[in-house]
């Protein structure tokens, strides 16, 4: 199941891949997600794992500590799926493990604009992986009989080892099925077998009883997983009677992936609702002044402001929803923004609203940010952020959840 390889810095990231986890109630093979690293992050990741396993009982989440450096090393070497660190990844570590994806979610800052900048960065980073997951779903529907090599070059078990060298030089393939004198499959021999002692192919080949054989209906995705799990570069395909009918290699999987995958996935629609909840000893007084300032700001920008019984509503110049200042018991309770963009930094009015909120220096601000994305592949991706900004410590803590429905 190793679809994500990343480092979590400082706080929790939950990746709920609804389109990738088998939700059938039938018995399925147990999958595993492994995490290791900073001990400070272990408790929250264990709780997140429990919640994840409730929804996906066929997936086991295993969390262990060991320290930030250990977590980075483990994920860098491919020994765990996700590494956890309570510090930045060092340049030397990034150089050594160049394939790492670093998701910096524990922020040493309590600026709203900085928070949204990091959410935007995270969404775009995660989307690349979600595109790959979509393409893997496509591969699940393609049987190997449609992509395998049917006209195979085989070698006889009684041929000498020098014949294998000739084949490699001539055909540029690193492995060949081995057959007996009547054409029955008896094994496979590869370039790596040339280091073994023997005179004939039968002396150095891997016998049929030790081979991993797949059927014609095995999916391209499952074939890829079998190769990765067993560290082999090719699989032999047999029919129901055990006769050799084809060969599928890593190269075949890559070519199929390239044909069916699309390197970009354009977002067709984005719906975003952001709620701000405030906590302060002077909360009511600050919220009243903040409301006055926001009404003045948005009204002065020619937005449509109207007061209802339970809220004050602001609409854009095109009469689209922008902001609601919600009331409860005749007092201002929280503020809700509605936008249609992953990156709000380009929307001047939104940035002005954030700056106005920050001006009042609330002791705590809880932000819940829900983004729904629909891309050109008709997959729905939901990004749910729950963050708390603390004035005194100037730190931000919380969670980002990615859900994808293909």
* DSSP state letter for 10: S
Residues 352 and 290 in one domain: yes
Structural domain containing residue 81: 1-22+31-105
Q: Would you state the pLDDT for residue 49?
A: 84
Which segment of 20-24, 68-72, 324-328 scores lowest on mean pLDDT?
20-24
What is the tally of structural domains in the chain? 3
Residues 38 and 90 in one domain: yes
Residue with tokens 């090719």: 234
Q: Comparing C-alpha atoms, which of 182, 168, 177 is closest to residue 208?
A: 177
CATH number assigned to the domain comprising residue 149: 3.10.580.10
Residues 278 and 218 in one domain: no
Residues 273 and 388 in one domain: yes
pLDDT per position as a tens digit, 196-233 = 999 999 999 999 999 999 999 999 888 988 988 888 88
Task: Establish if 397 belongs to a structural domain.
Answer: yes
CB atoms within 10 A of CB 59: 18
Task: Establish if 120 belongs to a structural domain.
Answer: no
Task: Establish if 131 belongs to a structural domain.
Answer: no
Q: How far apart are CA 199 and CA 158, in angstroms?
A: 9
Choosing from 207, 233, 260, the residue where a domain stops is: 260
**How many angstroms separate the Cα of 168 from the Cα of each of 172, 192, 232, 237?**
5, 11, 17, 21
Task: Establish if 132 belongs to a structural domain.
Answer: no
Choosing from 105, 132, 167, the residue where a domain stops is: 105
**List of E strands, 180-241:** 185-190, 206-207, 213-215, 234-238
Task: Establish if 35 belongs to a structural domain.
Answer: yes
CATH number assigned to the domain comprising residue 71: 3.40.190.10
Contact 160, 204 (CB under 8 A): no
What confidence tier does 267 reach under pLDDT thresholds 50, 70, 90? low
Task: Establish if 149 belongs to a structural domain.
Answer: yes
Give 286 or 121, the one with higher predicted confidence: 286
* DSSP state letter for 21: S
Residues 239 and 279 in one domain: no
Choosing from 260, 281, 308, the residue where a domain stops is: 260
Task: Establish if 342 belongs to a structural domain.
Answer: yes
Helices 112-140 and 348-358: crossing angle in degrees, nearest 10, is 130
Mean pLDDT for the chain overall: 81
Q: How far apart are CA 145 and CA 291, in angstroms?
A: 65
pLDDT per position as a tens digit, 315-349 = 998 999 999 999 999 899 999 999 988 888 889 99
0.75 cut: is pTM over it?
no
Q: How far apart are CA 16 and CA 269, in angstroms?
A: 21
């Amino acid at each position: 199941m190793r679809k994500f390889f990343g480092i979590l810095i400082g706080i929790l990231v939950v990746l709920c891949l609804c389109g990738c986890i088998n939700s059938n109630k039938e018995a399925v093979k147990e999958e595993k997600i492994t995490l290791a690293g900073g001990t400070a992050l272990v408790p929250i990741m264990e709780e997140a794992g429990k919640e994840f396993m409730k929804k996906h009982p066929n997936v086991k989440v295993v969390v262990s500590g060991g320290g930030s450096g250990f977590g980075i090393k483990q994920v860098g070497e491919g020994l765990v799926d996700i590494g956890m660190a309570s510090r930045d990844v060092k340049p030397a570590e990034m150089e050594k493990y160049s394939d790492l994806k670093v998701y910096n979610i524990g922020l040493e800052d309590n600026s709203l604009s900085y928070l949204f900048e990091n959410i935007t960065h995270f969404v775009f980073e995660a989307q690349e992986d979600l595109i790959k997951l979509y393409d893997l779903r496509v591969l699940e529907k393609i049987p190997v009989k449609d992509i395998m090599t049917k006209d195979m070059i085989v070698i006889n078990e009684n041929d000498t080892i020098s014949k294998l060298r000739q084949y490699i030089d001539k055909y540029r393939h690193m492995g060949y099925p081995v057959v007996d004198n009547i054409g029955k499959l008896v094994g496979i021999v590869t370039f790596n077998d040339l280091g073994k002692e023997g005179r004939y192919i039968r002396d150095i080949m891997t016998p049929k009883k030790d081979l991993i054989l797949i059927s014609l209906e095995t999916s391209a995705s499952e074939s890829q997983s079998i190769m990765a799990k067993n560290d082999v570069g090719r699989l032999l395909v047999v029919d129901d009677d055990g006769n050799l009918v084809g060969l599928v290699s890593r190269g075949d999987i890559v070519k199929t992936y390239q044909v069916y995958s699309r390197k970009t996935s354009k977002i067709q629609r984005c719906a975003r609702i952001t709620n701000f909840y405030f906590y302060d000893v002077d909360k009511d007084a600050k919220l009243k002044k903040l409301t006055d300032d926001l009404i003045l700001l948005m009204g002065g920008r020619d937005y449509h402001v109207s007061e209802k019984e339970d809220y004050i509503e602001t609409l854009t110049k095109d009469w689209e929803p922008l902001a609601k200042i919600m009331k409860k018991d005749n007092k201002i309770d929280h503020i809700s923004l509605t936008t249609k963009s992953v990156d709000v930094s380009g929307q001047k009015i939104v940035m002005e609203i954030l700056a106005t909120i920050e001006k009042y220096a609330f002791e705590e601000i809880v932000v819940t940010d829900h983004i729904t994305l629909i891309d050109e592949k008709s997959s729905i991706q939901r990004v749910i952020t729950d963050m708390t900004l603390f004035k005194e410590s100037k730190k931000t803590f919380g969670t980002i959840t990615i859900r994808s429905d293909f």
